[in-house]
Amino acid sequence: MATALTKTAIEALIARARGQKGPQLELIDDREPGLRIRAGERSVSWSLSVRLKNGQRTRITLGAWPGMGIADARKAAQDARRKIDEGGDPNAEKREAARRAEQAAKSRRTLADVLDQYEREKLANLRRGDAVRRALDGKKGLLRELVRQEPASITKADIADAVKKHAKTSPIAANRALAYARAFFNWCLHEDIVSANPAGTLKKPAKENSRSRHHTIDELAEIWEAAGTLGYPFGPMYRLLMVLPMRREEIAGLPVAELDLGAEPAVWTLPAERTKNGQALRVPLSPLARSIIAEALADEARPTEGVDDKGGTKPNPYLFSTTGFSPVSGFAKGKRRLDAAIAEARAKAAEASGGEPEPMPDWVIHDLRTSFVTMACRTLKVPANVADRCLNHVATATTSKIARIYNQDDLFDERRAAMDAWANFIETTVLGDKPENVVPFARAEVA
């Protein structure tokens, strides 16, 4: 029912609304059709209930009490009704104004601001999200020199110039960074932050060939010995990477809770969220792998606890860590130390023989996986599909897509025999130089 709106009536309405929970209370103006004031526990506002030209009824918010008084509310209602009579829609106009204001605010944000949002909304859900952020605007990030600009102002030429500079020193890394930038600007495009992707049509600066590098037995022996000079955490980590042909990040970030060393056989259960292909895997641990893990756990350099966000301490959950609360990092530095140890050993050997030292051919940690597959299949006679599963490749190279879908056997017993044979090969041939003692896969016991 319409009533005469007065300050006293409105204050009484507010008092009643603040003293009870439930729906808002309202008074309808008896002078301006459709005008009403609503009061709830926390807010009091004016609105106009009116029918648009198309017959649709709508409610238009006019303002808040007491900032907007009775007279102002009636004038605002009249102005809104006049716009509707002219075919307008005040609510639609407000939404458009808000959209433009939001767009303007977005356009004023710097690239750094948008990257922060991208990290919160996208990268935080990715396994390698931190690495992607570093590649974008980290110390050597592709977009580092552009972070003060507004995203919409960044051009294709800006990205192309950054890619060229990056490719001069790290061509393959520049390829990866360009891919990350392209994905980032696609996200910006979807969020209406930019109108076009400045990295969308740029080509990779470097041609990539699939790596086929695998080590010789002598090289594996050199890597093993050099790793032994590094100490914890990189020394045992590199040796474990030789014995277990898993990916670097999977072993470097290995939580102790994933290990069951008391089982027979001992098993490392690698969860799907920590694998590249999203496939969980039970990794059988050979006696050699177990001994490396046990030594790392007992190493005096391994922190037993770390400091949490609140300044308290908690047990170190990782096998390899220097902080006690995060997995080991600094892989580039660790690899340089390993290469330096190999070079030093080669220099001493050359000096003793009176010759000139030769550097080890270029290699990366991932080549240890290739070395495993090559020697396991060629020397130990491990079937290719078993070697594929040892790498957690789901046997893509050896079975059809249909077979992979319907055959979900993880070949655990076969992989256990293969890993035991590989560990024996490392101990006897790589380290002991006793090729006659190699136990091929065909003679390995399958539990």
Sheet of 281-284: strands edge to edge? 259-260, 267-270, 281-284
- Ramachandran bin of 364, using left for φ above 0, alpha for ψ from -120 to 50, beta for the remaining angles: beta
CATH number of 217-443: 1.10.443.10
**Helix or strand holding residue 21 (H, E):** none
Residues in contact with 446: Cβ distance below 8 Å, sequence separation at least 6, in sequence order:
413, 414, 416, 417
Q: For residues 80 and 62, what is the distance between their CA atoms, to the nearest angstrom?
A: 9
Give me the architecture of the 2-100 domain, per CATH.
Answer: 2-Layer Sandwich (3.30)
Q: How many CA atoms lie within 13 A of 74 on its CB side?
A: 11
Low-confidence ranges of the chain (pLDDT < 70): 103-107, 209-211, 308-309, 394-409, 433-447
pLDDT tens sequence across 183-212: 999 999 999 889 999 999 999 998 876 667
Per-residue tokens: 138: 């980290």
Closest CA to 77 of 126, 18, 26, 34: 34
Burial classification of residue 147, based on how many CB atoms lie within 10 Å of its CB (0-12 exposed, 13-18 middle, 19 or more buried): middle
pLDDT value of position 309: 65
Q: How many residues does the chain have?
A: 447
Closest CA to 286 of 200, 372, 197, 199: 372
Q: Are 379 and 440 in contact (CB under 8 A)?
A: yes
Q: How many CA atoms lie within 13 A of 344 on its CB side?
A: 11
Domain ranges across the chain:
2-100, 109-190, 217-443
pLDDT value of position 211: 62
Per-residue tokens: 187: 């996200």
Other Cβ atoms closer than 10 A to 180: 22
- Ramachandran bin of 304, using left for φ above 0, alpha for ψ from -120 to 50, beta for the remaining angles: alpha
Q: For residues 235 and 231, what is the distance between their CA atoms, to the nearest angstrom?
A: 5
pTM across the whole model: 0.59
pLDDT tens sequence across 81-97: 888 887 777 787 788 77
Q: Are 239 and 227 in contact (CB under 8 A)?
A: yes
Q: For residues 126 and 60, what is the distance between their CA atoms, to the nearest angstrom?
A: 43
Per-residue tokens: 381: 């006679």
What is the DSSP pairing of strand 35-39 with strand 305-307?
unpaired
Helix (H, G, I), strand (E, B) or coil at 28: strand
Burial classification of residue 136, based on how many CB atoms lie within 10 Å of its CB (0-12 exposed, 13-18 middle, 19 or more buried): buried
